[in-house]
Amino acid sequence: MRRKLVVGNWKMHGSLAQNKTLLTDCITKLAPLNNADYAVCVPFPYLQQAQSLLQNTNIAWGAQNIGKFATGAYTGEVSVGMLKDFDCQYTIIGHSERNTAYCESDENIAAKFMMAKNASITPILCVGETLIEREAGVMYHVVAKQIDTIIALHGATVFANAVISYEPIWAIGTGLAANPEQAQTMHEFIRNKISALDFAAANGLKILYGGSLNPQNALQLLVMPDIDGGLIGRCSLNANDFEGICSVAQSI
Ligand code: 13P
């Protein structure tokens, strides 16, 4: 069985003072949990704070995006090498909130995914459909297309030791999580798609679920065979809620 992974996505929240309280509480609460992996993806300015508080704990840290180039005249961008300076283990790639607000193309996302992989930072690739797409029944097509660009450019093997997070856009921040069957069916679809090209890569790939995951619905979702953990927005900003989800992952 794949080891569960729970990752907090803080989005654009926090301050030095708030983060210190939140991280200190999370360190204490998660310290006894050793049966799953845990991480937080923080805003860039707080990477150093995350590094200094979280090193030598069981909580890893990472970023929420990277630039698609290694270095150069790209005002406002942050390179993967800069993340390495702060010992990041993860970076989120292609979150729908970025794709919508900053018009990220599948090609850009593929370039960022490879940047992270080549620097040995685990990319957490976000995929998912809108409500209109689900209601039209085209969600598998939409999610397949988001993955296909990477496969077409770089092959399926690049998903070995990577993370995909299925985040239906209609479930993000709405309080309306996908039900376990909806999520499991999509996760299975994603794994089968990659498995058809590279069985070993698909078998090791962690597929997280994201979208209104909370301590109450975590068990029914995380117990599903192809749901390997969660990417948590709102509930990662509260140490009790985050611990609640992490404890569920620990118990499975
Ligand atoms: P919520 O948990 O707040 O719905 O956010 C999910 C998400 O976007 C994780 O990346």
Question: Per-residue pLDDT tens for 156-191?
Answer: 999 999 999 999 999 999 999 999 999 999 999 999
Report which ligand 1 atom has the smallest distance to the Cα of 211: 4
How sure is the predictor about 98, in pLDDT bands with cuts at 50, 70 and 90? confident
Nearest CA to ligand 1 atom 7: 233
Ligand 1 pocket residue status of 230, Cβ below 6 Å: no
Report which ligand 1 atom has the smallest distance to the Cα of 126: 10
What the block records as the tokens of 218 is 């975590």
The pLDDT of residue 102 is above 80: no
Residue 238 pLDDT = 98
Nearest CA to ligand 1 atom 5: 233
Report which ligand 1 atom has the smallest distance to the Cα of 173: 4
CB-based contacts of 101: which residues, under 8 Å, 6+ apart? none
Q: Please identify every residue annotated as catalytic.
A: 95, 167
d(CA 158, CA 116): 11
Cα of 168 vs centre of ligand 1, distance in Å, is 10
Ligand 1 pocket residue status of 213, Cβ below 6 Å: yes
**Domains contained in the chain, CATH given:** 5-251 (3.20.20.70)
pTM above 0.95, yes or no: yes
Ligand 1 pocket residue status of 99, Cβ below 6 Å: no
Report which ligand 1 atom has the smallest distance to the Cα of 95: 10
Residue 1 pLDDT = 75
Q: What would the pLDDT profile of 38-51 be if each residue is shown by its tens digit?
A: 999 999 999 999 99
Ligand 1 pocket residue status of 204, Cβ below 6 Å: no
Ligand 1 pocket residue status of 173, Cβ below 6 Å: yes
